[in-house]
Structure 1
Amino acid sequence: MPAPRLVPDLVPDLVLDLALTVRHDGKGGIADDLDGVDGLARWVAARGDELAEAGAPLGDFVADEDALTAVRALRQAVRTLFARAVRPAPPSPADAQRLLPGAEALDRLAAAAARVPVAPRLTWPESAAPEITYVPTASGPPADLLLAALARAATLFLASDDRTRLRACHAPRCVRYFLKEHPRQEWCKPSCGNRARVARHHDRHRVESAL
């Protein structure tokens, strides 16, 4: 039986958005969009509608150090499980020294999802098939709503067929994960493909010059 979906198309978007707060900084290093309380506040504000649909209406959310630490810990668990999902291919280069033991990553995910209990609700638009959404059964601190919604999205994504389309982009300097949209797709975006082709060309040139 396929895993129930949180909201159509919302699950992979939320989970990937969280993972991709770790990115290349354009200078050869790694940038973190959640590098401080202000970064978390901006990230949450930009996704207010999606988070509300996912069961986390965050109108009263105020980012603080505790919330930042919790979201970053959840992100580490998600990226660890992403690395597992893309095996036997290597993980994102950003994760080489940051992966958790698998059991610890799963426990973090479960603990975050359990912060706010939810119940399934059937929605059935007149012109579409019925679907299951998940609605909090109790109110809680906004930070708990945020953690629980993100963890549930990650759980449902990793249990779904979408997981098999997950890839780590290995173009030079890229550290992104992406969903493969067609059989020949190798890179997360065209600019990464261009960099990879240029790098391959230079590598061939060096080998030929050395012969």
Structure 2
Amino acid sequence: MERWLALELASTIRHDGDGGVTDDLATVRETALWIRRQGELLGGPAPSGELVVDETLRLAVIELRQGVRALFARVVSPAPPSPADAHRLMPADRAVAHLNAVAAREPVTPQLDWPLEGDPAIRLLSAQDDLSIRLMAQLARAAIDFLSGPRRVELRACTAPRCVRYFVKSHGRQEWCKPSCGNRARAARHYKRQRTDGAAGPALS
């Protein structure tokens, strides 16, 4: 299944399985674990030993996530955004400015990388020594790439009860982020129909 770094960042806010919402960036330790898990999407092993994950970096990642989720809400509009933060979204213009500012903190030069056996690809040569700035800029560029790319139009907010995820449709009829959400949504619809039919009472003869 295809993965997008911007979507992974947005999905650090998720349903906890018990009717509430959990945050994968709630602590410095959890933030460091999340960064390590993004190794492949970050273009190789994610920074660990060299990168100092502290409270300042955690809050910076959270602020960037707020911008990404605000722009995801703009993408899915006029459909409702994820209910996790629909009441406190960053204004869209501020979110755009923030993503651009964070991406600009790392000056990069595109380099052509073309091995003898393989396809050509772009490698970005960084002029920034601070690994935390490099990480933040990479997260911001990933969001910019996604939001300006062709898969943006397939972005949806899952409408299953209690789900707060955004997802990219993998086929034309997909309504929910995963099968378990589809099962929960269908069960809720069935329950609602039963209550409506029961409230209507027996038909008069």
TM-score, length basis structure 2: 0.90
Name 1:41's counterpart in structure 2. Answer: 32
* Distance (whole Å) between structure 2 residues aligned to residue 178 and residue 128 of structure 1: 31
Aligned residue identity for 2:193? R
Name 2:23's counterpart in structure 1. Answer: 32
The 3 A distance-change label for structure 1 pair 23 and 125 is: same
Equivalent position to 2:131, from 127, 142, 145: 142
User: With CA pairs under 8 Å and 6+ residues apart, which has the higher RCO, 1 or 2?
Assistant: 1
Quote the offset at 1:126 in angstroms: 5.3
Equivalent position to 2:14, from 23, 36, 49: 23
Q: 5+ residue gaps in structure 2?
A: 201-205
Quote the offset at 1:132 in angstroms: 3.0
**RMSD of the alignment, in Å?**
1.8
Equivalent position to 1:168, from 125, 135, 157: 157
Alignment of 1:55-74 (within 5 A): 57=47, 59-74=49-64
* Distance (whole Å) between structure 2 residues aligned to residue 52 and residue 130 of structure 1: 15
The 3 A distance-change label for structure 1 pair 27 and 141 is: same
Quote the offset at 1:191 in angstroms: 0.2
Name 1:3's counterpart in structure 2. Answer: none
Name 1:91's counterpart in structure 2. Answer: 81
Percent of residue pairs identical: 54
* Distance (whole Å) between structure 2 residues aligned to residue 92 and residue 28 of structure 1: 15
Kindly tell me the number of residue pairs found equivalent between the two proteins.
199
Quote the offset at 1:97 in angstroms: 1.2
Structure 2 SS opposite 1:194? helix
Preserved CA contact (<8 Å) 2:4 2:146: no
The answer to whether 1:113 aligns with 2:103 is: yes
TM-score, length basis structure 1: 0.88
Structure 2 SS opposite 1:48? coil
Equivalent position to 1:14, from 5, 27, 31: 5
